[in-house]
Structure 1
Amino acid sequence: MAQSDVLLTKEPAQQAVPVCELPCKVYDVERNTGAYTSSGLATAGFRSAKYLMDEWFQNSYARYHQAFADRDQSERQRHESKQLATETEALARRTQEDSTRRLGEWLQDTHCWKSELQREIQDLEAETNLLLAEKLRLERALDATALPYSIATDNLQCRERRQHPDLVRDCVEIELLKEAELIRNIQELLKRTIKQAVNQTRLNRQHKETCEMDWSDKVEAYNIDETCSRYHNQSTDVQFYPHSVVLEESASTPETWAMFSRDNLCRAERERLASVNLRQLIDCILRDTSQDLRMQCDAVNLAFNQRCQELEDALHKLKHHLLKALREITDQEHNIAALKQAIKDKEAPLKVAQTRLYQRSHRPNVELCRDTAQFRLVCEVKELNKSLEALKEKLLEAEQSLRNLEDTRMTLEKDIAVKSNSLFIDRQNCMVHRTRYPSVLQLAGYQ
């Protein structure tokens, strides 16, 4: 068959597996000649539906090749699919194991932070309770200072009832004024410290609530992550959530997540340490104030004892002088009676001698000395006993001395009454009242 008779055309292969197409047969209509013509002149100008043997074999070979290529491609796809399924299964298993491991690590981190927050919450609660106990001590100590202040002011008011000349600003009054001022200062200090304790308690509770909210969130997140860590491929409560892979814009990062809890713990610990320092300060304040109050109370009591001792000594001396004055009055009355009897005989000389002695008896204090002049006058009295003028003068002196003694007696009795009143006020009113003074434990707020 000539080249011009039959033209076999094939398209080039576009895929990895070649595609076989049936050959097209073209006849030369004009000539219709050749060794392989199927008909003669009777069929000139018509196409034939039959193929040549070469074309049949070529077509069969093409079918064989196509079948082989399809099988090969199918086997290769099956192998690749099996390999891909194995690889994806291993990848999914590794990814799931890694996710589970990371969930476990995150659970450990969450548990650590949760434990730290729980410990800090417990420490803050315990510290707040201790601070409230110290605040209660402060309030008790403040209440306990009311009685000492009442005692001090009552003592000052009672001592205002002293009479002259005992109404003096003595050491007792000075110590009582110091005590009242000390109590007022301590009350102001305790009030300021109570306000600090209240403010610190509020801060402790505020940071405790912050830690509790953080702890609560971590507990909820821990439970969620723990539930997630228990999920597996055979779990029955899993389903598709296509939109869950989208990260929320408000989500935190591990750094900000850890920093949030760390900042909460740092602030809570800082406030807890401040509360510890405040409790130590409160304890020092209560210990110092109670000791100061008791020391001042002892100083006041000591001043009262000394003052009462002074009053007792003065009262004893006054009574002693009163007794002597009474005896002197009795003696003087006898002397006057004797002088009156002697006046009848020696009135004038006796008056002169008594007048001189009378005038010299007015010398104050230590000046009342038995000097030579005194001895001389005494001698003169003895010499002028026989003189009427001396006797009358001596009688006047004796009478004046008797009046002075009466005045002195009245003054001594009045002074004794004043001293007795002062001693009664200091000992029976003030010191008895001071026996109700609170103890150191009460002043320290323990009772």
Structure 2
Amino acid sequence: MELVKSTQGFRPNTRPDIILPTLTATPTRDKKGDNPQTHCLLPLPPKPSTTSCMGRDRFRLRSPRTPALRPAMPMHSAITPQQWAWANAANYKRSDNNHRSADILRKDTSRLICSKDDFTNKTQNESNKWISERIDDLSFWSSEGKHESEKLLKDTDMLKKVKIRLDHAISETEGPLQVARECLGQRQKRMGADRVRDEVEIELMQEVTVIKACQEQLQTMRDRVNKQLESNRIVQLILEKDLNDKHVAFEIDTRCHKMTNCNSTLQSYNNLSNLDMCFSVPQSWAKFSEDNIVRSQTERVNTKKVMEEAEREMANTTTNMWNQFYIVNRAFNNRIAETTEARNCLQYHMAKTLQEIFQTEHTIADLERTINNKKIPLQVAKNRLEERTKRPNMELCKDPPHNMLLREVQHIQGTMSTLSQRLAEAEDMQQQLAATKSLLEQELFVKAHSLFIDQERCMGLRRTFPSHPRLVGYA
């Protein structure tokens, strides 16, 4: 006998009073209302009166009767009609709940998508705005830094020119110093009484002291200029590094500002900890650039002060050297005038001495001639006395002729003695005049030598004293 399977009138072989729950996923919202979640819902027990979804007449569900004890027999249905109706109602209700939840989820999701799109666009626009403002800030500080760097570079170039002038001024002081020392050395070659510590020597030593002091002042100022140049170089490097960094940041922010959602070169970066590495905040970033500019301005002010001090120092040293140069030259001129006057006086006395010597020689010659001329009258008188001694007897009388001859002899002898004494005095005077002549000749040589040293050598060397522009550093 062929068995025919039929599903008509099939009922599950379960207890009639038990309805198996069917789990359905009903979307609900979390506390924030954005993320839907699913919960398992169990069918609720039916109310006493319900309506059918199939257009049937209303009916009231009766409480199920307790089946009577019957003998065991095959059961063809597992649930009652009421339970079947309850199950269908629960399924309908669960379906309606799912439809409402799905509609709510769909509408909320649509609103969420729109709000998130709006928020994303807004944040992107805000980012573009901030990047644009950042680019403006970079442009502003770059412009300020570049302007300040150019000013600092200009002032540094001017300070370098001042340093070159200081080097020239220091080198120009070597010539006057050597001239002053050479003049002192030349004047040590003076002879005799002219080797006096006169005003010229004192002023020459003072000139050496002044020039050395000027050299020390100029060298000290040059050291200050070198120190200021080093400070300017450090600040210049800081400004250039800051400008270079800002240029790189400007290019990067410009590229970021030009990025759009349509770029094909976008990459994915998931690790935000590596992307959020920052070394400064806007306040410290702006303060860093401002501090660099303020430091540059301070160094520029110091540069101008150093340049002004260097100008004053060069002008003061030049004035001091030229004043001492005039004082030494005036002392030289006075000394040359005094030496020339002394030489002229010596020449005058030399001329008078020569004249006196000439006249003394004539006097000596006259005395010698006169003495020689007195010898013959003396011999005549003596011969007369001798002859008269030969008179005989009473004729040998001391008569007036005899007395007169005796007086004549005495007179001539006294005259010759006086003339001889005067001749000796004249010869002594001649020797004194000769010694004076020799002394005057020596003094004239000394004065001529001193004049040659002071007038020719020293003043000749001092004609090469550098001019005022050269002493302040100009070539």
TM-score scaled by structure 1?
Answer: 0.79
CA distance in 2, matches of 1:86, 1:16: 21
The structural deviation recorded for 1:254 is 2.5
CA distance in 2, matches of 1:394, 1:285: 76
Query: CA deviation digits over 1:356-392, x for unaligned, max 9?
Result: xxxxxxxxxxxxxxxxxxxxxxxxxxxx9x9433322
Q: Is it true that 1:314 corresponds to 2:350 in the alignment?
A: no
| Equivalent position to 2:77, from 48, 53, 75 | 48
Question: Which position in structure 2 is the counterpart of 1:370?
Answer: none
SS in 1 for 2:194: coil
Q: Is it true that 1:79 corresponds to 2:142 in the alignment?
A: no
Q: 1:234 to 1:346 in 2, by over 3 A?
A: farther
Question: Which position in structure 1 is the counterpart of 2:191?
Answer: 163
Question: Which position in structure 1 is the counterpart of 2:68?
Answer: 30
Q: Is it true that 1:118 corresponds to 2:118 in the alignment?
A: no
Q: Which amino acid is the alignment partner of residue 68 of structure 2? A: E
CA distance in 1, matches of 2:279, 2:96: 57
Question: Which position in structure 1 is the counterpart of 2:441?
Answer: 413
Contact 1:164 1:418 in 2 (8 A): yes
Matches within 5 A, 1:6-25: none
CA distance in 2, matches of 1:93, 1:274: 52
Contact 1:346 1:389 in 2 (8 A): no
Question: Which position in structure 1 is the counterpart of 2:168?
Answer: 140
The structural deviation recorded for 1:28 is 4.8
Q: Is it true that 1:287 corresponds to 2:315 in the alignment?
A: yes
Q: Which amino acid is the alignment partner of residue 189 of structure 1? A: Q
Root-mean-square deviation (CA, aligned residues, Å) is 3.3
| Equivalent position to 1:184, from 208, 212, 233 | 212
Q: Is it true that 1:334 corresponds to 2:372 in the alignment?
A: no
Question: Which position in structure 2 is the counterpart of 1:150?
Answer: 178
CA distance in 2, matches of 1:64, 1:15: 13
Contact 1:104 1:229 in 2 (8 A): yes
The structural deviation recorded for 1:9 is 6.6
The structural deviation recorded for 1:275 is 2.4
Q: 1:110 to 1:140 in 2, by over 3 A?
A: same
CA distance in 2, matches of 1:306, 1:346: 58
Matches within 5 A, 1:27-426: 28-31=66-69, 44=73, 46-48=75-77, 52=81, 65-244=93-272, 251-344=279-372, 387-426=415-454
Query: CA deviation digits over 1:300-355, x for unaligned, max 9?
Result: 111111111111111111111111211121112112212222334679xxxxxxxx
The structural deviation recorded for 1:112 is 2.6
CA distance in 1, matches of 2:77, 2:298: 106
Contact 1:346 1:390 in 2 (8 A): no
SS in 2 for 1:165: helix
CA distance in 2, matches of 1:235, 1:73: 39
Contact 1:6 1:27 in 2 (8 A): no
Q: Which amino acid is the alignment partner of residue 76 of structure 1? A: I
Q: Which amino acid is the alignment partner of residue 177 of structure 1? A: M
Q: 1:13 to 1:79 in 2, by over 3 A?
A: closer
Q: Which has the larger radius of gyration?
A: 2
CA distance in 1, matches of 2:135, 2:370: 128
Q: Which amino acid is the alignment partner of residue 340 of structure 1? A: E
SS in 2 for 1:237: coil
The structural deviation recorded for 1:266 is 3.2
CA distance in 1, matches of 2:217, 2:172: 14
Q: Which amino acid is the alignment partner of residue 211 of structure 1? A: L
Question: Which position in structure 2 is the counterpart of 1:350?
Answer: none
SS in 1 for 2:192: coil
SS in 1 for 2:271: helix
CA distance in 2, matches of 1:141, 1:278: 16
Contact 1:333 1:402 in 2 (8 A): yes
TM-score scaled by structure 2?
Answer: 0.74
Q: How much identity, in percent, do the aligned residues show?
A: 30
Question: Which position in structure 1 is the counterpart of 2:473?
Answer: 445
The aligned length equals 396
Q: Is it true that 1:431 corresponds to 2:459 in the alignment?
A: yes
Q: Which amino acid is the alignment partner of residue 334 of structure 1? A: H
The structural deviation recorded for 1:102 is 1.5
Gap runs ≥5 in structure 1: 33-40, 348-383
The structural deviation recorded for 1:63 is 5.4
CA distance in 2, matches of 1:288, 1:346: 85
The structural deviation recorded for 1:57 is 6.4
Contact 1:124 1:208 in 2 (8 A): yes
The structural deviation recorded for 1:296 is 1.1
- Of 336-345 and 79-88, more deviation after overlay is shown by 336-345
